[in-house]
């Protein structure tokens, strides 16, 4: 089984955002799905894609915290958002109704005739397209945003206890494996490894 890795390089992350912004600028006016918004929320929270696609505009716009009940665990999670993330969300949701799905599909709901939320699969397709265009060689998956968040949170704060709590993991080792830090340590050890007889 191939494991999804976080995006470690901040320059690559910046390219992902540039690609998403370019897509949004060129999209048809009927297409309300903002790729940049998916990246902003995805990379700045610890939520799983399955939870992100269930958010409504009112859940994030003007909010200091984003709260979800995790579909996988049933636990409520609450993530604080800094001012720049809130500003980006407010900008990217301006003019939209609070009851709209945050990530809108082109498909319409047969009952309400409103737009449906994008599916988990569509979120994956968008992430895959953006990351490939940015030059990401690693395997992309629905956990790419969550693992990338965790990786950069750990690199910035080196606080494993907080990160473990944010991600809802039962052990610090699980967290280090999840965010790719164990892989980094193994890779570095192998790069330095020398065998006698060289």
Nearest to 60 by CA among 33, 87, 36: 87
The Cα 20–Cα 1 span in angstroms is: 29
* Tokens coding 47: 């939520």
* From 48, 86, 147, 152, the catalytic residue: 48
* From 146, 147, 151, 154, the catalytic residue: 146
The Cα 146–Cα 179 span in angstroms is: 9
* From 86, 122, 143, 147, the catalytic residue: 143
Active site residue 28: no
The Cα 32–Cα 19 span in angstroms is: 17
* From 23, 86, 147, 169, the catalytic residue: 169
Cβ-contact 12, 127 below 8 angstroms: no
Cβ-contact 81, 64 below 8 angstroms: yes
Active site residue 146: yes
The Cα 20–Cα 193 span in angstroms is: 40
Active site residue 158: no
Active site residue 162: no
Active site residue 178: yes
The Cα 108–Cα 110 span in angstroms is: 6
The Cα 11–Cα 15 span in angstroms is: 6
Q: Tell me, rounded to whole angstroms, the distance of Cα 79 from its chain centroid.
A: 13
Q: Report the catalytic residues.
A: 48, 72, 143, 146, 169, 178
């Amino acid at each position: 089984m191939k494991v999804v890795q976080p995006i470690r390089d901040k320059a690559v992350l910046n390219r992902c955002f540039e690609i998403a912004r370019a897509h949004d600028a060129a999209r048809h006016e009927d297409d309300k799905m903002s790729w940049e918004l998916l990246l902003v929320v995805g990379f700045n929270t610890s939520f799983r894609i399955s939870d992100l696609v269930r958010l409504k505009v009112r859940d994030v716009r003007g909010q200091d915290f984003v709260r979800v009940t995790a579909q996988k665990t049933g636990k409520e999670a609450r993530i604080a958002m800094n001012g720049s993330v809130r500003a980006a969300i407010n900008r990217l949701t301006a003019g939209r109704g609070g009851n709209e799905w945050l990530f809108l599909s082109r498909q319409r709901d047969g009952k309400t005739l409103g737009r449906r939320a994008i599916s988990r699969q569509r979120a994956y397709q968008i992430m895959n397209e953006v990351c490939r265009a940015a030059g990401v060689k690693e395997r992309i998956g629905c956990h790419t945003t969550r693992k990338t968040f965790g990786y950069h949170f750990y690199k910035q704060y080196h606080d494993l206890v907080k990160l473990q709590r944010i991600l809802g993991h039962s052990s610090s080792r699980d967290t280090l494996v999840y965010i790719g830090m164990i892989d980094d340590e193994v890779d570095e050890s192998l790069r330095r490894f020398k065998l006698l007889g060289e």
